[in-house]
Structure 1
Amino acid sequence: MSSLAKQISVPIFSGQNYDYWAIKMKTYFQSQKLWEIVEEGVTLPEDSSTSSSAEKGKLENKKAKDSEALYYIQTAVADHIFPRISVATSAKEAWSILQKEYQGSAKVRIIKLQTLRRDFENMKMKDSETIDEYYTKVRELVNQLKAYGEDIPEKRVVEKLLISVTEKYDPIVTTIEEQKISPH
């Protein structure tokens, strides 16, 4: 384990905002060179008696990395969530359990993606919101869409912002639109 791993604490998942937690954990695992183990697991050879000592060493290294990743997952969940993954014997198994329970099946993900798309299309700034608050809401929604595999081009995000701000920002929107159109 690197000294960096000892300094960085993993984010704790308490049952809320699974998508954000999963992104943080994936980044953490990538930084520790463990993500491949979490995502793919460790494949054991059918007959280990014919394996060379180098192959056995690689397998032992992968098993150790799997145990390390499993430990990080176990310590990154709140106590009331831990029983759900306590029987998992690999990082991939624990990750899959959490993913299935909190992210949902393929059908659930499709429905969630459709809901997020609709929310994005129907989003409008409220009179009581500041531009900063509204931008944050739009950006959070775009990030959620990305987490579900939908990549919204930055141009589309800017268009959405310009179209959906309140009327008090019309002079600013007009200025921006004119600058986009005018030749330089």
Structure 2
Amino acid sequence: MDVESSFSHVALPIFDGENYDLWAVRMESYLEALDLWEAVEEDYEIAQLPNNPTVAQVKNHKERKTKKAKACLFAGVSKTIFTRIMTLQTASEIWNYLKEEYAGDARIRSMQVLNLIREFKLQRLKESETAKQYADKLLGIVNKVRLLGTEFPDSRIVQKILVTMPEKYEASIASLENTNDLSQITLAEVLHALQAQEQRRMMRQEVAVEDAFLANNS
């Protein structure tokens, strides 16, 4: 089985009207893997045809790819979205309609980025959260910013974590500051240090519980 046949069995990403940017990235990758993305682009170029192809061969080759790409897009949306695009004739028309309808113009996307960055700045570790859960929450916000086309380096996430972690993590943060160049430290290194401290604290608590149990039953 060739790569294209194998990939055709991978589940299509389904767009239901939410998180368009994430769906668009996944769908473009899916169509590229099936060699169908060029059928979505306006400047369609015919490739892999025999030498001196006839007009009929060119037309047939192009139509096959266009129909496959259109079928993928129809299958990659919810029933509600499908009713809005079912009368469109080409894959390119469908893609452009979805982009215009759900991606928003530059002003709207700029406002979305500003709101997400504001949300990022307001985040703090909750009492019930672990360092990993906190980092995942921050990454979720950052990835939305990146999908909107704005750069957001991991170093800003590292700085955010180091500045906002509560006092009980101070020992780990101080150790990182003393042994690493903070401008070079990675998110993975920060998480490893904080998770190691959480594990040590948990082990001490378990030992304390066991000692108390033994004392009460001696």
Q: TM-score, normalised by structure 1?
A: 0.82
Note the aligned Cα RMSD (angstroms): 2.5
Q: Decide which moves more: 140-149 or 150-159.
A: 150-159
Give distance in 1, aligned partners of 2:174 and 2:92.
52
Partner of 1:166: 166
Structure 2 residue 111 is the aligned partner of structure 1 residue 111 = yes
Following the alignment from structure 1 to structure 2, what is the Cα–Cα distance between the partners of residues 110 and 55?
46
Q: Tell me the residue number matched to 1:24.
A: 26
Q: Percent identity between the aligned chains?
A: 32
Partners in 2 of 1:57 and 1:163 — Cα distance?
63
How far 1:9 moved relative to its partner? 1.8
Matched, 1:67 2:47: no
Q: Where does residue 130 of structure 2 map in the other structure?
A: 130
Q: Using CA pairs below 8 Å that are at least 6 residues apart, which structure has the higher relative contact order?
A: 1
Shift of residue 87 of structure 1? Answer: 1.4
Alpha-carbon distance in structure 2 between the residues aligned to 1:95 and 1:113: 23
Does the 8 Å CA contact 2:38/2:44 hold for their aligned counterparts? no
Unaligned stretches of 5+ residues in structure 2: 46-51, 183-218
Q: What CA distance in whole angstroms lies between the structure 2 residues aligned with 1:21 and 1:147?
A: 10
Q: How does 1:26-105 map to 2 (within 5 A)?
A: 26-40=28-42, 42=44, 53-54=53-54, 57-105=57-105
The residue identity in structure 2 corresponding to 1:123 is: Q
Q: Against the structure 1 CA distance between its residues 39 and 169, is the aligned structure 2 distance closer, same or farther, given a 3 Å change threshold?
A: farther
Other-structure match for 2:146? 146
Distance 2:164 2:39 in 1: 43
Q: Report the CA distance shift for 1:130/1:76 in structure 2 as closer, same or farther (over 3 A).
A: same
The one-letter amino acid of 1:121's match is K
Kindly tell me: are residues 90 and 180 of structure 1, through their superposed partners in 2, closer, same or farther at Cα, counting changes over 3 Å? same
CA gap 1:167/1:95 in 2 versus in 1, 3 angstroms: farther
Can you give the 5+ residue segments of structure 1 that lack an aligned partner in the other structure?
44-51
Q: Structure 1, residues 82-110: CA drift from partner, whole Å, max 9, x if none?
A: 01111111112111222222221222111
Count of residues in correspondence between the two structures: 175
CA drift of 1:55 comes to 6.1
Which residue of structure 2 lines up, in the alignment, with residue 47 of structure 1? none
Which amino acid in structure 2 is aligned with residue 15 of structure 1? G
Change in CA separation of 1:171 and 1:62 when aligned onto 2, cut-off 3 Å = farther
